[in-house]
Amino acid sequence: MAWDNEHVPVVRVQAQDNFSDDLTSMAKLLKDSGNEDLAKLVLQDKARLKKNIPKAINKIANDEVDGAQKLIKERQYHSKSGYVGHGNLWKSVAKHPSRDGMKSDIYANAESIDGYEYIQAFEYGLKNKNYPAHHVMHDSGMALDVDKYSDEIIRKSIK
């Protein structure tokens, strides 16, 4: 693998707005059929969903940061070599949300002395130095419970 920083492992938490158009259409149909009060309620639910989904994305991203940091600590500082690090790698794990809050990328950005991202070596390993792959971002992303906040979002949005 070339160390060009293009292979930094990223966990992406993302929601898609598959509801706005349908709810708007439903509200229009309700209004056209004389149910203006019900149409207003549907549009209020839509507005709450648009507000609450980014909050859930943020919570899930926080969970991913915590999960990745925990795995890095477990796998980096409990090696057979007895290595005791300074915490640069796990401290550099952070979320990077989009402007609309519908997406957040989580990754580490601690650089090594050689200028490549240290998380690449930790995630994928180094063949020439007998440094094994640890797959912390992969494993933490796979363990992430993206449905954890679904009921909360729905409960707070649909009234």
Annotated domain spans of the chain: 15-156
User: Which amino acid belongs to residue 45?
Assistant: D
Contact 133, 124 (CB under 8 A): yes
pLDDT computed for residue 82 by the predictor = 60
Site of tokens 């989904």: 53
**The model's pTM:** 0.84
The three-class DSSP label of residue 9 is coil
Residues 81-106 as b or e (16 or more Cβ within 10 Å = b): eeeeeeeebbebbebebeeebbbbbb
pLDDT computed for residue 2 by the predictor = 45
pLDDT computed for residue 63 by the predictor = 97
Identify the band that residue 33 occupies on the pLDDT scale cut at 50, 70 and 90: very high
Q: Comparing C-alpha atoms, which of 141, 139, 90 is closest to residue 119?
A: 90
Q: Comparing C-alpha atoms, which of 15, 12, 153, 17 is closest to residue 95?
A: 12
**Rounded mean pLDDT of the chain?**
87
pLDDT computed for residue 131 by the predictor = 76
Phi-psi region of 73 (alpha: psi -120 to 50; beta: other; left: phi over 0): alpha
CA distance 39 to 17: 19
Over residues 25-50, the mean pLDDT reads 96
Over residues 107-114, the mean pLDDT reads 78
pLDDT computed for residue 80 by the predictor = 62
pLDDT digits (tens, 9 = 90+) for 58-102: 999 999 999 999 999 888 776 566 666 678 888 999 999 999 999
Q: In the chain, what percentage of residues exceed pLDDT 90?
A: 56
